[in-house]
Chains A and B, each alone.
Chain A
Amino acid sequence: MEFLSYLISGISLGSVYAIIALGYTMVYGIAKMLNFAHGDVIMVGGYISFCAVSYLGLPGWLSVLLAMAVCTVLGVVIEGLAYRPLRQATSLAVLITAIGVSYFLQNAALLIWGASPKGYTPVVSGQLPLFGGRLTISYVTLLTVGACIVIMIALTLFTGKTKMGKAMRACSENKAAAQLMGINVNRTISLTFAIGSALAAVAGVLLCSFSTSLMPTTGSMPGIKAFTAAVFGGIGSIPGAFLGGILLGIIESLAKAYISTQLANAILFAVLIVVLLVKPSGLLGKYVPEKV
């Protein structure tokens, strides 16, 4: 029974990682860049939702929609101002810019909302008792896992079946060729950022419902772990990000419970290193040989 509750908390944590990792992987897969500011967009999403509930008195679900709207705009603006001018630059320059944007967002949040942590009220509360109360699952966990699965399926269908999704895959394969085929590359990448940022807002709300305290640095550690999850599952692959996130959550939770809470993070990254040594492109990643 104990093992089951550890497993459940791992899956719940993993689902949050998975949603964040989906955002990372979308942007990497299509724009071929690591958006390190993703974790901070999550934090902004959390704050927007917090403000909507605490200051405007809006209900929880509406605050999620508001957070998604704000983050979508934020994502598109960041892409337009910071990343688009660097489209032809080396990937290292873009990476550094992304880190810069990340610090900018953190410090802007520090200015706007201050340093003291805010207590976030979960969007749903209560728990579901199972086996006569010997095992309880909180509704937040159910919501998180549900949201994660829905988002994963929706994204897979979107990139596989729609015209816009096809355009995205084309951009991912070869930007220049896609442009020659009449695809507006800039618009496609903007759309990718819009989707990624909307996902970040959802992740922000779920993350804060899970860990209930909100600070300007809230997004950075989950952001790094979700990036790990994306690499673990094979960066660029949507089911990979999902699998990577869930596995990472479970490993973290079980390592904490049965090995050591201090070493949990170290174990996590050690597993990542082993996986990358054995399977360099991640669990579900495709191995693409470099063309000469």
Chain B
Amino acid sequence: MKKRLLALVMAGALTLGLLAGCGNDGGGKTGGETSPSPSASTPASPSASTPAEPSAPVEPSAPVEPSSAASGTFKIGGVGPLTGDAAIYGQAAMNGAQIAVDEINALGGAVQFEFKPEDDVADGETSVNAYNNLMDWGMQALVGPVTTGAAISVSAKLYEERVFGLTPSASSTDVISGKDNVYQVCFTDPNQGVASADYISENLAGSKVAVIYRNDDAYSQGIRDTFVKQAESKGLEVVYEGTFTKDTQTDFSVQLTGAQSAGATVLFLPIYYQPASVILNQANQMGYAPTFFGVDGMDGILTMEGFDTSLAEGVMLLTPFSADAEDAQTQSFVAKYQEKHGETPNQFAADGYDAVYIIYAALNAAGCTGDMSAEEICEALVGVMTSISVDGLTGQGMTWSATGEVSKAPRAVVIKDGVYVTP
């Protein structure tokens, strides 16, 4: 009987574990009162220390000498996955942010930054803990979280405690909706889905599209939803939809067979690059070669260690940043990043870099000082975000709507000989 009992208990435990694994979003119920601010000894009122009220939208166009509207040392926190499955995104974003911080500090202007990244393993609850740690440290504004699920949890805290948040790459509208103090550097998911459908229907006319997406992930599901809706209105035929989850992202033979037998000529992959690399490999083994079309999560596939880049030949993706761009700003960033980290920066690094400059521009526009509390800075920045325009690595003339959504032009690139080129 012992054996039977053991078997039953184990089976039960496995099934429970499986069920528990389904709802890991949301999080954010971590208790504990965080100290609201580092509280400077002399709480300067924002208006008193503002020398000149910027009347028109200022154009601080990233790395120029400080316009010295703001002054003091600001504590900027960073939250992103530095370990775990999504580490490549978090590490890149935090490395990019660090480079921007170093650049700004090296200018020797009135504004100096202290930057502290914290690891959240791309998990909602861990992310809230990381945020609480940063608040204890005295954070005045946040760059992060990097991934959507974690950002949804933390943005609720940011809103509640009135701390300014700018996420480099969490692209779901759930991150910003209803929160006036949370902004994005990257496109929103709807934006990516719509842009992809538009691009495919214009440039790959008459193609039959299959979608493989991860339906336990807000990012993937969000892009898929708007893509399918836009495809329908554009008359683009979606012939097959396959799904997968975190636990089943190692085997796509079933979905690929489905797409192949439905006659799909374009395979839309609104997913991260790691499962995408498995899809490319397995499609190759099956001898199935449609046009693969990815979004920003596909970025990073070329730098994946051991990945045979010839498999990615001809893959198209939407990305706001290409390390091969000719402009001086990109070139200098890429050179610095390569020198420091020994690899070519991806889009997430550029997003992190831009995030710091956007905060810098906003602080200047609002004339904040380093002794203001996180809450005061938050209100000041919210006041100017809709009126500033920043030229960054991921777009020229980025502007923000009051909802926190960025406006910049997405562009498609195609992978040729292991690099991104404009088709």
Among B88, B281, B306, which residue has its beta carbon within 8 angstroms of that of A50? B306
Is A117 interfacial (CB-CB < 8 Å)?
A: yes
Q: Does B245 lie within 8 Å of A127, measured CB to CB?
A: no
Which of A116, A228, A231, A253 contacts B254 (CB under 8 A)?
A253
Docked Cα-Cα span, A257 to B18, in Å, equals 20
Question: Within 8 Å of chain B (Cβ to Cβ): is A156?
Answer: no
Closest to A5 in B: B257
Question: Given A138-B286, A217-B85, A262-B245, is A269 in contact with B11 using a C-beta cutoff of 8 Å?
Answer: yes
Number of interface residues of A (CB under 8 A): 61
Give Cα A193–Cα B370 distance, bound, in whole angstroms: 61
Cβ contact within 8 Å between A127 and B285: yes
B285 touches A138 (CB 8 A): yes
Which B residues touch A2, using CB under 8 A?
257-258, 261
A263, closest chain B residue (CB): B245
A161: min CB distance to chain B, Å: 27
Residue of B nearest to A220 (CB): B247
Asked if A6 meets B254 with Cβ closer than 8 Å, knowing A117-B304, A121-B306, the reply is yes
Contacting residues of chain B (211-233) with chain A, CB-CB under 8 angstroms: 215-216
Write out, one digit per residue, whether chain A residues 115-147 have a CB within 8 A of any chain B CB (1) or not (0). Answer: 111111110011101000100101010000000
> Whole-angstrom distance between the alpha carbons of A254 and B2 in the complex?
33
Residue of B with least CB distance to A266: B18
Contact with A along B271-286 (1 / 0, CB 8 A): 0001101100110111
Whether B107 is near chain A, meaning CB under 8 Å from some CB there, is no
Q: Which 6 A-B pairs have the closest CB atoms?
A: A119-B307, A9-B253, A211-B250, A280-B4, A115-B87, A138-B285
Q: Does B15 contact A (CB under 8 A)?
A: yes
CB of B141, distance to nearest CB on chain A (Å): 27
**Chain A contacts for B1, CB-based, 8 A:** 290
Return the contact of B15 from the options A117, A212, A273 (Cβ within 8 A): A273
Alpha-carbon distance between A228 and B12 when the two chains are bound, in angstroms: 11
0/1 string, B282-317, CB within 8 A of A gives 1: 101111000000000000000011111000000000
Residue from B14, B216, B254, B255 within 8 A of A269 (CB atoms): B14
Give the residue of A140, A261, A269 whose beta carbon is less than 8 angstroms from that of B243: A261
A288 touches B285 (CB 8 A): no
User: Given the interface contacts A262-B216, A266-B15, A281-B3, does A136 sit within 8 Å of B287 by beta carbon?
Assistant: yes
Given contacts A118-B306, A211-B278, 18 further A-B contacts (CB under 8 A): A13-B253, A115-B85, A117-B274, A118-B305, A125-B284, A125-B285, A136-B286, A210-B282, A212-B278, A213-B250, A215-B85, A222-B250, A228-B11, A231-B10, A257-B258, A265-B247, A276-B4, A281-B7
* A contact set with B: CB distance below 8 Å: 1-2, 5-6, 9, 12-13, 34, 50, 54, 110, 114-122, 125-127, 129, 133, 136, 138, 140, 210-215, 217-218, 221-222, 224, 227-228, 231, 235, 253, 256-257, 261-262, 264-266, 269-270, 272-273, 276, 280-282, 288, 290
Given the known interface contacts A50-B306, A261-B242, A262-B215, the answer about A110 and B83 at a Cβ–Cβ threshold of 8 Å is yes
B41 beta carbon closer than 8 Å to chain A: no
* Chain B residues numbered 1-36 whose CB sits less than 8 Å from any CB in chain A: 1-4, 7-8, 10-12, 14-15, 18-19
B244 within 8 Å of A (CB atoms):
yes
Complex Cα spacing A211 to B275, Å:
9
Closest chain B residue, CB of each to CB of A128:
B287
Query: Closest CB-CB distance, B220 to chain A, in whole Å?
Result: 13
Contacts of B215 in A (CB 8 A): 261-262
The chain A residue with its CB closest to the CB of B81 is: A115
- Report the tally of A-B residue pairs with Cβ distances under 8 A: 150
> B11, B245, B247, B286: which has the most chain A beta carbons within 10 Å?
B11
B114 at the A interface (CB under 8 A)? no
Is B3 in contact with A288, judged by CB distance below 8 angstroms?
A: yes
Q: Count of chain B residues with Cβ under 8 Å from any Cβ of A?
A: 50
Residues of the B chain whose Cβ atoms lie less than 8 Å from the Cβ of A12:
253
Chain B residues with CB under 8 Å of A114's CB are 87
Interface string of B64-102 (1 = CB under 8 A from A): 000000000000000000011101100100000000000
| B243, B274, B285: residue with the most chain A Cβ atoms closer than 10 Å | B285
Residues of A within 8 A of B284 (CB): 125
Bound Cα distance from A256 to B3, whole angstroms: 31
By a CB distance below 8 angstroms, the chain A residues around B91 are 116
In-complex Cβ contact of A281 among B4, B261, B287 (8 A) = B4
Residues on B with C-beta less than 8 A from A213 are: 250, 274-275, 277-278
Quick check: B306 and A116 within 8 Å, CB to CB? Answer: no
Q: Is the CB of B306 within 8 A of A115?
A: no
CA distance A213 to B304 in the complex (A): 10
State the Cβ distance, A169 to closest chain B Cβ, in Å: 18
Q: Does residue B251 face the partner (Cβ distance < 8 Å to A)? A: yes
Asked if B332 is an interface residue, CB under 8 A from chain A, the answer is: no
B203 contacts the other chain (Cβ, under 8 Å)?
A: no
A-B contacts, 28 of them at CB < 8 A, read A6-B254, A54-B306, A110-B83, A114-B87, A116-B87, A116-B88, A119-B304, A125-B284, A126-B285, A136-B286, A211-B278, A212-B281, A213-B250, A224-B14, A253-B253, A257-B254, A257-B257, A261-B245, A261-B254, A264-B248, A266-B18, A269-B11, A269-B14, A269-B18, A276-B4, A276-B11, A282-B7, A288-B3
